[in-house]
A and B are shown apart, each in its own frame.
Chain A
Amino acid sequence: MNIIVCVKQVLDPDIPPAKFKVDSASKQVVPPEGIPPVINPYDAQAVELALRLKEKQGGKITVLTVGSDGADKAVKYAISMGADDGFVLSDEVFEGSDSFSMAYILSKAVEKIGEYDLVLCGRQAADWDEGLVGSIIAESLGTSLVTLAEDAEVVDEGLKVKRVTLDGYQAFIVPTPAVVTVSNEVGQARLPSGLGIISAARRQIPVWKAADTGIDPSLVGSAAARRKLFALSVPARERKCEIIEGETPAEAATKLAERLREAGAI
């Protein structure tokens, strides 16, 4: 089974909220110093699902990422988890692309790779949380699609995929090639092995430019974007917190109950 996994590098979502800053004037997030970006956690879980499928079926896992300097790190991370191969899609003309252009760039790379049964993407990227790219890749490739997968297995007619719903799940059987977006219900992604890290570090990740995959430059970049950022801010969530103290934890607890009663909260 040939699996292609699309990954992205994001600002580490685990940074303490106090470190998160935006520049509202330029509508940009100010990356905190000294904290390196990480592979989008949902994408790492997509790699995880790919590895589980490969362990059962055999096959090959190829990783794709769109990005500029340092983007190969996300590919290398996936390789250190156990993926076989990867490519970075990078070109000046990609700058400012929206999810539709990203999906187009990725679809062209998928087509260039040619032989594939399954394309996996994370359900959303932990930076802009848009949740669009995977679905649009399916649309542009004309394949079947299941979103928010918590599990997938190979069956006679194709792929059986469980989709997380608010109150349970749905199971679908879809023909391959298919695109599947992966939800966190898949479970934690494995950590790279020591050996994996060493061999990934040695790898040169090939870079494909727009022309290498036959991309029409007029369909990518900020000029092609179908949406624009109008404003970006940090939400005001702070409240005035009344800290309840006491000689003992029990005393504080008793006072808290009384205060909540006074405030009409209980």
Chain B
Amino acid sequence: MAENKGILICGEVVDGKLAAITAELLGAGKKLSAELEQPLGALLIGKDIEEVAQETIGLGADRAYTIDGPAFLDSLPDLYVALIAAACEKLQPSVVILGQTDMGRDVAPRLAAKLKTTAVLDCVGLEIDPETRALLQTRPVYGGNATAVWVTESQPQIATLRPRSVMAAESDTSRTGEIEPLPIVVEDSAIKGKLVETVKTEVEGIKLEDAKVIVAGGGGIGGPEGFEKLRELASLLGGTVGVTRVPCDEGWLPLTMEIGQTGRIVGPDLYIAVGISGAPQHMAGCSGSKCIVTINKDPDANLFKESNFGIVGDYKQVMPAFIEKCRELLSS
């Protein structure tokens, strides 16, 4: 059997544009390509995507591969599994990286099964072991309580990369590289079922992932009303409100606002945590914040250990004066 060679990233096209994860995958891919001294390929699926494919060359791909197909969210994942598996069979890469996105988390496990290898999902670090040349895949495990580094012993080594865990590649429009369309035909029998609808709930205001300031509330808020104060502070600071699992379980706020391992992964400049104990599953989603501030009435709450600033106290008594002073400072 021919040796697998090269790094292939599976980029994503959303509304005709390169999704942000693609530049991050290329950022990670470029590093691996230098470490392994093997070429970097970028695979894109979409309609009329020559131009975006060209962008991946600027972002560091040595070669771009395009497959004509619908957007991921407009199709059955089965189609993407079949297309990417066929592309991998043709290209025989040694490393395949997808985003830990709607697409990657669904496709990677079955892609691995089809290619008789395995996949390591939700990686936050990827590097090449200088000794063995194997891909070291670092990811949180045990709900964020621990960090594991996995090595895949079969080929290709498939990983998904958590969004915003590496620097995005920077564009250099002078780079050149070829764009190769891959004609892949998927048998009808590979598609089991049909898509009925795709529903996108529009978020009002700033997305949690994009927010520079997040005021997050947990079980300690005690009910939906308490969040008024958090919203007031968030809008004052030009940020938005997030929650832990508890307010969602209690039905105070929707799960779409949940931050953590199974919710959103955020990394604001300022994270103000109010009435939150600091469980690892929550911290897994916000520990990348630059500055963490905790307001909690329990001095032993775990979150204090992972914060830069803290007040031990009842948020109901702390918040009004805090909001007042922030307003004063911001207007001066």
Listed in ascending order, the chain A residues whose CB lies under 8 Å from chain B are 11, 13-14, 16-18, 20, 22, 29, 98-100, 103, 126-132, 135-136, 138-140, 143-148, 158, 160, 165-175, 178, 183-185, 188, 225-235, 237-244, 248-254, 256-261, 263, 265-266
B305 partner residues in chain A, CB cutoff 8 A: 237-239, 241
| Min CB gap B100→A, angstroms | 10
With A244-B311, A249-B313, A253-B325: A230-B150 Cβ-Cβ less than 8 Å: yes
- Is the Cβ of A227 less than 8 Å from the Cβ of B118? yes
User: Contact at B329–A239, with CB atoms within 8 Å?
Assistant: no
At the interface, yes or no: B196 with Cβ under 8 Å from chain A? Answer: yes
For the complex, what is the distance from the CA of A33 to the CA of B242, rounded to whole Å?
35
Interchain CB contact under 8 A, A253 and B199: no
**Which residue in A14, A168, A173, A185 is a CB contact (below 8 Å) of B199?**
A168
**Total of A-B residue pairs, C-beta within 8 Å:** 256
B112, B255, B318, B329: which contacts A185 (Cβ < 8 A)?
Answer: B255
Minimum CB–CB distance from A88 to chain B (whole Å) comes to 24
B151 within 8 A of A: yes
In the complex, 13 of the A-B residue pairs with CB atoms within 8 angstroms, ordered by the A residue number, are: A129-B122, A131-B121, A135-B109, A136-B109, A145-B78, A170-B199, A172-B76, A184-B262, A232-B146, A234-B146, A253-B319, A256-B318, A265-B291
A173 in contact with B77 given A131-B109, A226-B154, A244-B310 (CB within 8 Å): no
Most buried by B among A168, A169, A225, A228: A168
The answer on a CB contact under 8 Å between B317 and A265 is: no
User: From DSSP, what is the main secondary structure of chain B's interface residues?
Assistant: mixed
Interface segment, B48-56, B218-226, B276-284? B276-284
Known contacts A173-B193, A239-B305, A241-B305; is-contact A127 B321 (Cβ 8 Å): no
- B-side interface residues toward A, CB under 8 Å? 73, 76-78, 101-102, 105-106, 109-110, 112-114, 117-122, 129, 136, 139-154, 192-201, 203, 213, 237, 245, 249, 255-256, 261-262, 269-270, 278-281, 283, 287, 290-294, 302, 304-314, 317-322, 324-326, 329-330
Tell which of B149, B151, B192 touches A175, judged by Cβ atoms closer than 8 Å: B192
Which one of B150, B237, B278, B302 has the highest number of Cβ atoms from chain A below 10 Å of its Cβ?
A: B150
With contact pairs A226-B152, A249-B313 given, residues A129 and B142 touching in the complex (Cβ less than 8 Å)? yes
Bound complex: CA A169 to CA B255 (Å): 12
- Bound CA–CA A257/B332 (angstroms): 13
Known interface pairs A160-B196, A253-B311; A129-B143 also in contact (CB < 8 Å): yes
Q: Please, which residues of chain A bring their CB within 8 A of the CB of B261?
A: 129
Q: Which 10 A-B pairs rank lowest in CB-CB distance, beginning with the nearest?
A: A174-B193, A257-B325, A250-B321, A144-B192, A135-B109, A249-B317, A253-B321, A253-B322, A139-B113, A226-B118
Given A132-B118, A135-B109, verify A229-B193 contact (CB < 8 Å): no
Do A170 and B73 form a contact, CB below 8 Å, given A160-B196, A235-B146?
Answer: yes
Give the chain A neighbours of B154 by CB distance below 8 A: 226
Residues from chain B with Cβ under 8 Å of A99 in the complex: 118
Using Cβ atoms and an 8 Å threshold, which residues of chain B touch A231?
A: 148-149
